[in-house]
Amino acid sequence: MDTMVTAIIMMLVLGAVLGLGLGIADKFLKVEVDERVDTVTSMLPGYNCGSCGFPGCSGMAEAMVEGKVKTVSTCKPSKPDARQAIVDYLTSTPGPDGSTVDIKI
């Protein structure tokens, strides 16, 4: 019986220590993600064809958010209304640093 109680206590202590470690790691090792990348990725066609020069739509979205791509029409398969929606979104939605993206159709 003592062995079982000891095992339960050890499991509780181990769980608490590991949980504390994960909590500390989450606080100090957190990678800040720009949520605009996911939003713009969802606004692109999703063909992942690579004709934009990026390995997929998420790469293109990341490049647009970072300002490396200046025109949404770099994505040839995208429709005009989707291009306009992306421009409207990126020019009006600030990122984590508070700045918006200067991008054209």
Residues in the site for ligand SF4, rule: CB under 6 A?
44-45, 47-52, 54, 56-57, 60, 75-78
Q: Nearest approach, Cβ of 68 to ligand SF4 (angstroms)? A: 13
Terminal Cα-to-Cα distance of the chain (whole angstroms): 72
Q: Nearest approach, Cβ of 104 to ligand SF4 (angstroms)? A: 16
- If the CB atoms of residues 21 and 68 are measured against ligand SF4, the closer one turns out to be 68
Token pair, residue 39, equals: 């939003």
Q: Nearest approach, Cβ of 84 to ligand SF4 (angstroms)? A: 15
- If the CB atoms of residues 56 and 95 are measured against ligand SF4, the closer one turns out to be 56
- If the CB atoms of residues 6 and 48 are measured against ligand SF4, the closer one turns out to be 48
